Chains A and B, each alone.
Chain A
Amino acid sequence: MSSNSQPQHKPRTPSLLLQANGPSQNDPPPTGAPTKSQKQMTKAERREVQERQRAAKAAKVTASGPQSGGPLAKPQHPSSSTSSQPKKTGRGSESPVQSRASTAAGSSGLPNKSTKESKAAAATAEEDAAVRSRGLRIFSHFALQKPTGHIAKGNVHPAIVRLGLMFAEFKICGANARCIATLSVFKRVIQDYTTPPNNTLSRHLMTHLSVQISHLVSARPMSVTMGNAIRQLKMEISGSDIDLPEQDAKDALCGKIDNYIRDRIIIADQVIQETAMRKIHDGDVVLTYARSSVVQKVLLEAWAGGTRFSVIVVDSRPMLEGKRLLSALVSAAIPCTYLLLPALGSVISEVSIVLIGAHSIHSNGAVFSRAGTALVAMMAKQHAIPVVVCCETYKFSEGVRLDSFTKNELAPSGDSFSCFPRNRSPASLIIQNQLNLEILNPLYDLTPPCSITAVVTEAGVIPPDSISSIPLALGRSV
């Protein structure tokens, strides 16, 4: 409950959601629990959506803040302690909710429809928004991510709802993890699916899955890996034999999914491990950024194989994932150095090889990966240090990306990701959007092919220029 009384966070912080997903996330979902949480959620959600819309409006509002803050100041005060909104229903609970949103949006003038003066405020707000939005406009597409939208439209499987929540809260993140999780849940969805009368599985299952997929996408934009896997799955579904008994068809599909996970991810990783560990020699200093599951395996495998090297783990906000890699490496007794990205310039000259993972890889050879990777690759390239990307071929994306700007995702700016050091007071660090101030935490950036030396895939070590030949090499099965 206390998690709810944090009006200082951005509205996209899933404060209401925390309650809704509480049971579904902690328990291994028994049959009753998820549906209940889903019901509970729809209420919470509806409010959340409203709140978000208002917050979005409010975020555009400028100077009218202090003036219109006056009439709103009263409800704001108790609102910080109103943490039980989901129990209340109807219009009664509206005003505290709104004012909550207004505090969250930096107490700028909030278009509260029930009061007249705020209508006027909204009018001025729109004018001001026009003045102010210049700075926002070029970043506006970043906000497309739907932070906590979980309206379970249609027939969404409870396991998907649960997965969606885990995606939205970054409980599961990383291209591989998300893909494996999605496919495993789809197996359950397929097993629980029954073809309605007068329909064939090969046609109807597709529409059923589309609902699940769009729910997942609403939780967090789909990763390239998921996209590739789902495309493959759809192909398998449409190709499944109509005459097959339903259970056999479902089992066959689940078998296909298992094969996909095994061939394209698990075995692929093993091949990559064997290839990449040969690039690490005794006495090397390996630098890696953030955490990639493949790179972690490569390092552990190489160490287990008797190569003696040391690792520099570079890390940065907003995710600070490197700490997890660090603890895995340390427990294997690999000598490690840990530093934050800004300190990279100090150590880069002693590095012998840079190993990084990827979110996706594009046909022009650019690697889309955790934000900061491009900086690491750039610095390494400048110092003539080989930059090796470890990447399974199923991460290949046909599309070309030219910069990290046009399509990106934002990490939530709630305090679950701030992970700030404790030598400063949290109050001085936790900072939220306010007038003229916006916090952007892009999740990914694009490493141009010119700063990559080679990409290690299960199909071999490929220079970035030749990435476009991957689908050919695999017989266009991507």
Chain B
Amino acid sequence: MTDNNFEPTIIGFTCNWCSYRAADLAGTARMKYAPNVRLIRMMCSGRLDPTFVLRALSGGADGVMITGCHPGECHYIEQNYKALRRFHLLRRVLAGLGIEPERVKLVWASAAEGAKFAAETTAFVEEIRKLGPLGWGKGEEKDEGGRIKDEDSSFITHPSSFGEEVSA
């Protein structure tokens, strides 16, 4: 796909201790990077439920960046390894669904690596730009509460995601 005006939308997951701080440091040092990434802060990359990624892709994101502390430097000792495992599994699942696995990227960035965070972000935006828009999750219907009715994306709604849906 070659759409010159295509600006990718990317959701980035960061951990509270390393990669979010790397993003902060990139800011403090005024390093410029592409404005296409919107970040979500979690305590740890181990918190990343793969369904979050699918939710983002189905909701209009063209790519997802998962970031965390370097292996061996996790604030929670080794939970980023769990993120790594899920990342590899997730890419297989995406390939199975017919989505380019390259739309999901894993980046390790320590709190001192603002420059790396900025550079990886810009590079990823360009990679996604080349892949073109994903266009997943377009045109679904909504129920009265504004929630997506589309059956295709129901599998990415975790049973516990919405308190009211959980039967006590």
Chain A partners chain B: no
Using a CB–CB distance below 8 Å, which chain A residues touch chain B?
Answer: none
Binding site for A on B (CB under 8 A): none
